[in-house]
Structure 1
Amino acid sequence: MANLTGLAAVGNPNPNKSFEVVQPPSDSISSLCFSPKGNYLVATSWDNQVRCWEIMKSGATFGSMPKASTSHEQPVLCSTWKDDGTTVFSGGCDKQVKMWPLMAGGQAVTVAMHDAPVKEVAWIPQMNVLVTGSWDKTLKYWDTRQPNPVHTQQLPDRCYALTVNHPLMVVGTADRNLIVFNLQNPQAEFKRITSPLKYQTRCVAAFPDQQGFLVGSIEGRVGVHHLDDSQQSKNFTFKCHREGNEIYSVNALNFHPVHHTFATSGSDGAFNFWDKDSKQRLKAMSRCTQPIPCSSFNNDGSLFAYAVSYDWSKGAENHNPATAKNYIFLHVPQDTEVKGKPRIGTGGRK
């Protein structure tokens, strides 16, 4: 650990020359999400805060301006926007989900409750419902105008990850369960799969065409999984976020909204861009001095936001909030980094 600490102290926190977001959170950053309607970025943090910045472009450079913030009683773990870009939902260790009418300048109100921390939230515009996943081993659907959930779905274990691309929803839980839902029949499991990865699930991402999903784990590996039995031959896993014998967690998976390639962000402090169809890595970025716990593309894919902060993978004893600085950076993806490439032969390169 001494080496790592030294590296963090003297290394360059921004080796990719990204634009730095001003006034970042004062503790580890747990989620990032862009407004679906514009360049407003929300971050949640272990400092109990939910913050929003307006991201502005001036020529070839980007700047940021803090817009508003709201708070929970305990660390905040997840966030999502309503599809109209007016409202933010956030959930966390206070077992609550808050609805924050950010663009109207309103106060956050509690709209959902669980019996344990809330790990994931997603808004489903086609159903006008909020879905929340918790460590209490339930998934709940909410009409935010009503105090009680519309439906409570029991999960086999604690919810660790969630992705929605209607009608597809995939929930990753402890013990490597992946539960697939068809949201046209949201009260029944469509399929339950054991993760193709041998270790704990950290993140999932539905394919843009809803035909399958990605899953990332703590062992520096990603699985590409198709739902249709006739497509099983297209399933594969690949290694990433590794250096020599060091293996790092894959913390985030983000599909590009236009090109449908994807980014992985890891505890090694790197983010990479990939094309699942040609099985190629499009671009490997330089490692930052701390892990990347979360990341997000904006609505048109012209910006990629990523956090650089402690990710708790080495426990609370190795975290010193007084000395660890937290960053949010904005990377401008180049076409060569995010545009898919034609397949090479049959196997492609990894």
Structure 2
Amino acid sequence: MMGSSFRVGSKDIELLQPPSDSVSKIDFSPTQDVLAVASWDNNVRLYNVSNQGQNEPKHMYSHEAPVLDLCWTKNGSHLFSAGCDNAVQMFDMTSMQKQQVAAHDAPIKCVRYVEVNGQQVLVTAGWDKKLKYWDLRSSNPMNVQDLSDRAYAMDATDKIVVAGTADRQVHIYDLSNPFTKYRQVESPLKWQTRAIACFPQSVTGENGYAIGSIEGRVGFQYTHTSDEKKSFSFKCHRVDIPAGTMGAPATTGSQNVFAINTITFHKVQGTFCTGGGDGSIIFWDGVARTKLKMFSAKDLNNGDTDARPPVWGMPIVSSAFNHTCDILAYSMSYDWSKGHGGVPPASAGATKIMLHMVKPDEVTRKKK
């Protein structure tokens, strides 16, 4: 069922002084409205955000190469950032100082902070085909797991870690026995994995994850074999091409297909949103298999009927709810889907990070 549409940014508030280069990850503190932003310009920026969306830059620190991922401690006291300098930096929100706490032999694509048997542990996954567990009191990893290929996406709860690799494998670790792989399964999606987000276990009561690919498709997957029959996948972030449009075939039924760049769960409702290369955000009720609401960056062709190709908004590359889940931040920038050669000229639209005031009908689960 289609939800109503409205234009991204029309009523949303723009973050002041965003990065000049592409954004890789944004993440709100779990305890206060501080937004962390990781960028390809080698920097991590922090912003103060009010409950009405007013915002101001707070602090910035640097890596020696592009930053690819972020996560917070549960109490928001520290921020972790990982990147192409093969390192994880831990930033202290009180002293405003950083220190390196983890390393790989290649860029670190993913970082999460979890609880393992009552102990706080950092989990990292990189392009060296390794997943590592870290006790921050030691400079050496607690344990190293071999992955089947480079890590492309990862998420975790205090129950599970789920990592997706370049060969479309999904590696699942049960944190009650973290150093033994629980399962390795092939992605339900036929194309490259781009995003993974675990179900908020406290809401759903079940272990699972949503996985998105470059092919405009999302899989809603349950972890345990006994629940697999409930798993399903669906198409999204695809746009019909009108017959006769320049570059389109004369027949109907053709589509432009966009990557799923970000999946974010609402920690209260258990619903989730996806952001795609088409510049749209869609809210979903995964349990009811229902689209709740959609908003898109630009109306295709702006109503024009001439032969110009469709015009989409800047890709949505990352999204995050604040700790009270009443603000959704989303970033718009180049998503590297066409490689280095596809980087748009500076005049084509700078990176933007927007703050959307969440309305109940966008995220509330459908009644049975």
Q: Secondary structure at the match of 1:109?
A: strand
The 1-side partners of 2:161 and 2:296 are apart by 33
Instruction: State whether structure 2 residue 99 is matched by structure 1 residue 109.
Output: yes
Contact 2:319 2:329 in 1 (8 A): yes
Matching residue of 1:217: 213
Matching residue of 1:78: 69
* Cα drift, residue 13 of structure 1: 9.0
* Cα drift, residue 321 of structure 1: 6.1
Cα deviation, 1:168-222, whole Å, max 9, x if unaligned, reads 1111011110011101111111011100000011111111224211111000000
The 2-side partners of 1:15 and 1:73 are apart by 32
What are the equivalent positions in structure 2 for 1:1-350 lying under 5 Å apart? 14-57=8-51, 61-101=52-92, 103-125=93-115, 126-209=118-201, 210-244=206-240, 245-287=255-297, 289-320=313-344, 322-323=346-347, 324-343=349-368
Q: Secondary structure at the match of 1:175?
A: coil
The 2-side partners of 1:306 and 1:180 are apart by 28
* Cα drift, residue 108 of structure 1: 1.2
The 2-side partners of 1:136 and 1:304 are apart by 33
The 2-side partners of 1:136 and 1:113 are apart by 11
* Cα drift, residue 232 of structure 1: 2.5
Cα deviation, 1:216-254, whole Å, max 9, x if unaligned, reads 100000001112333222111101100011000001111
Dislocated runs of 4+, deviation >6 Å: none
* Cα drift, residue 91 of structure 1: 0.6
The 1-side partners of 2:226 and 2:77 are apart by 41
Contact 1:16 1:286 in 2 (8 A): no
**1:337 counterpart letter in structure 2:** E
Structure 1, unaligned stretches of length 5 or more? 1-11, 344-350
* Cα drift, residue 117 of structure 1: 0.5
* Cα drift, residue 298 of structure 1: 1.1
The percent identity for this pair of structures is: 43
Q: From the superposition, tell whether residues 66 and 220 of structure 1 become closer, same or farther in structure 2 (CA, over 3 Å).
A: same
Q: Secondary structure at the match of 1:128?
A: strand
Q: Secondary structure at the match of 1:232?
A: helix
The 2-side partners of 1:250 and 1:146 are apart by 36
The 1-side partners of 2:20 and 2:336 are apart by 15
* Cα drift, residue 127 of structure 1: 2.7
The 1-side partners of 2:237 and 2:95 are apart by 40
The 2-side partners of 1:89 and 1:227 are apart by 27
- How many residues of Structure 1 are paired with residues of Structure 2 in the alignment? 328
Matching residue of 2:310: none
Q: Secondary structure at the match of 1:27?
A: coil
* Cα drift, residue 326 of structure 1: 0.6
**1:20 counterpart letter in structure 2:** E
The 2-side partners of 1:104 and 1:274 are apart by 37
The 1-side partners of 2:134 and 2:67 are apart by 19
TM-score by length of 2: 0.86
**1:226 counterpart letter in structure 2:** Y
Contact 1:42 1:53 in 2 (8 A): yes
Cα deviation, 1:20-51, whole Å, max 9, x if unaligned, reads 11000110000010001010000000000000
Q: Secondary structure at the match of 2:341?
A: helix
**1:300 counterpart letter in structure 2:** T
**1:44 counterpart letter in structure 2:** A
The 2-side partners of 1:322 and 1:105 are apart by 36
The 2-side partners of 1:21 and 1:176 are apart by 35
Contact 1:16 1:285 in 2 (8 A): no
Contact 1:13 1:290 in 2 (8 A): no
**2:17 counterpart letter in structure 1:** Q
Matching residue of 1:9: none
Contact 1:80 1:122 in 2 (8 A): yes
Q: Secondary structure at the match of 1:337?
A: helix
Contact 2:7 2:295 in 1 (8 A): no
Q: Secondary structure at the match of 1:336?
A: helix
